[in-house]
Amino acid sequence: MIAVEVCRTPDGEIVEFVATGHAGSGPYGHDLVCSAVSAVVQTAVCGLKEVLDLRPMVEQKSGFLRCRLAPAEQTAEEREKGQVVLATMVAGLKGIAASYPGYLVVKERTV
């Protein structure tokens, strides 16, 4: 199962997400859930970096991706745009989780 933990500030701003695990919904290289989750989280990282020119801290290896923003280093406009990208990612992940229960769980916590 893949678990994605989304960390929010008390006011709801997403500052970090961590995706871990493998879905196991199909053979390696043909796992649709794993591919979908990977595409969604990696697209969010690309959007933050390449479209918005933000510099999140990203750590990635097999079955693991962590992305952490530094809100103090961003303008209010940059934070707002980054939140749109991240909220879209969360919505996409929740849609995948609803379609494929037992393969993906999305957890949110306040930090």
CA dihedral (88, 92, 93, 97) in degrees, to 10, reads: 150
| pLDDT given at position 111 | 92
Tell me how many degrees the CA angle 87-93-96 measures, rounded to the nearest 5. 145
| pLDDT given at position 29 | 75
Percentage with pLDDT > 70 across the chain: 100
Above 80 in pLDDT, residue 15?
yes
Q: What is the pLDDT of residues 61-108, one digit of tens each?
A: 989 999 999 878 889 999 999 999 999 999 999 999 999 999 999 999
| pLDDT given at position 25 | 81
Q: Please give the mean pLDDT across all residues of the chain.
A: 94
As a whole number, mean pLDDT of residues 31-45 equals 95
The CATH number of the domain holding residue 15 is 3.30.70.1490
Per the structure, the complete domain to which residue 14 belongs is given by: 2-110
Cα–chain-centroid distance for residue 15?
A: 11
| pLDDT given at position 70 | 86
Number of domains in the chain: 1
As a whole number, mean pLDDT of residues 55-63 equals 94
